[in-house]
């Protein structure tokens, strides 16, 4: 009986060891498979902060961020992700090639300047004449309460040079605002995106124009009748604005630069909205006075 017990214990031990061996082997196989798949489909980063994505992941990022940004146009992170996911394989290369074909664009790609509150010396820009590009830019920042330090870093574009092109476009966006005079109201942002789409062909800018559907009826009518025609006309006829070396234009007359680029400022959206508010206030006050006179007459 003791022999039988020992044989049973040995068999159990062998069985347990075999199970452990199988479990270890299976885990190792899964790990090898996981490592093999990830190593084949996800290459190492090409630059600091780069997040390589598979084709399926890029498609999921584009669809998800696009739908969510339409729902909430104020989510700059979603708009940035959608821009990067949809810029390849063609559109960002087209913009990069436009820079390579232009002498100033080539210098920008070689120098790779960044636009931040420290690189531009904002106090100096405030001391420039009112008609200078730099003064126009910083006055727009101050009026709208915007900082050049809020632009997200590019993460999902694989080519390092193309990633810089997207970063440059992103950081120049406020200069485009200042050049056109469009404010950061949703109506102004949609108008500027339509202008950028006509000039750069980046899919995100064209997709953003659909946010016009979320405008108030009066804003939507104004956009369709005034700002959309302006954006398409000026964006198509203007030179490639990505090739403007803004850091070298700061002391130049802004009207002269607009003429050189072929950009005609649109009607002042802030002034239009202010006049509409004053008109609504006036009509409301008149209605209240009429109502007061009617009640007095009834007494």
Tokens of 148: 């050049």
Binding residues: 173-174, 177, 189
How many C-beta atoms lie closer than 10 Å to residue 137's C-beta? 25
Tokens of 261: 């680029």
d(C-alpha 138, C-alpha 232), whole Å: 26
d(C-alpha 230, C-alpha 192), whole Å: 10
Bridge partners of residue 253, in order along the sequence: 132
* Residue 26 dihedral angles phi and psi, to the nearest 5°: -65, -45
Tokens of 92: 């960002």
* 3-class state of residue 132 by DSSP: strand
Binding residues for Zn(2+): 173-174, 177, 189
Q: Which residue has the tokens 């009518």?
A: 221
């Amino acid at each position: 009986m003791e022999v039988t017990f020992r044989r049973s214990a040995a068999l159990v031990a062998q069985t347990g060891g075999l199970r452990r061996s199988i479990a270890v082997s299976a885990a190792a196989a899964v790990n090898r498979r996981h490592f093999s798949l990830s190593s084949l489909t996800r290459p190492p980063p090409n630059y600091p902060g780069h997040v390589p994505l598979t084709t399926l992941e890029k498609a999921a990022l584009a669809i998800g961020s696009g739908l969510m940004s339409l729902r909430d146009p104020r989510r700059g992170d979603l708009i940035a992700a959608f821009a990067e996911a949809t810029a390849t394989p063609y559109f960002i290369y087209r913009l990069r090639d436009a820079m390579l074909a232009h002498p100033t664009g080539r210098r920008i790609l070689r120098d790779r300047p960044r636009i931040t509150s420290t690189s531009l010396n904002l106090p100096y820009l405030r001391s420039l004449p009112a008609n200078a590009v730099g003064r126009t830019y910083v006055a727009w920042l101050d009026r709208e309460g915007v900082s050049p330090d809020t632009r997200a870093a590019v993460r999902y574009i694989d080519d390092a040079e193309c990633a810089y092109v997207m970063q440059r476009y992103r950081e120049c966006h406020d200069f485009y605002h200042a050049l056109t005079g469009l404010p950061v109201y949703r109506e102004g942002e949609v108008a500027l995106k339509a202008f950028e789409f006509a000039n750069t062909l980046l899919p995100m800018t064209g997709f953003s124009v659909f946010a016009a559907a979320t405008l108030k009826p009066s804003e939507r009518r104004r956009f369709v009748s005034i700002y959309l025609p302006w954006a398409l006309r000026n964006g198509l006829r203007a030179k490639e604005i990505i090739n403007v070396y803004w850091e070298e234009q700061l002391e130049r007359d802004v009207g002269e630069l607009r003429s050189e680029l072929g950009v005609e400022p649109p009607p002042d959206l802030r002034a239009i909205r202010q006049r509409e508010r004053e008109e609504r206030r006036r009509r409301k006050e008149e209605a209240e006075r009429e109502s007061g006179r009617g009640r007095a007459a009834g007494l």
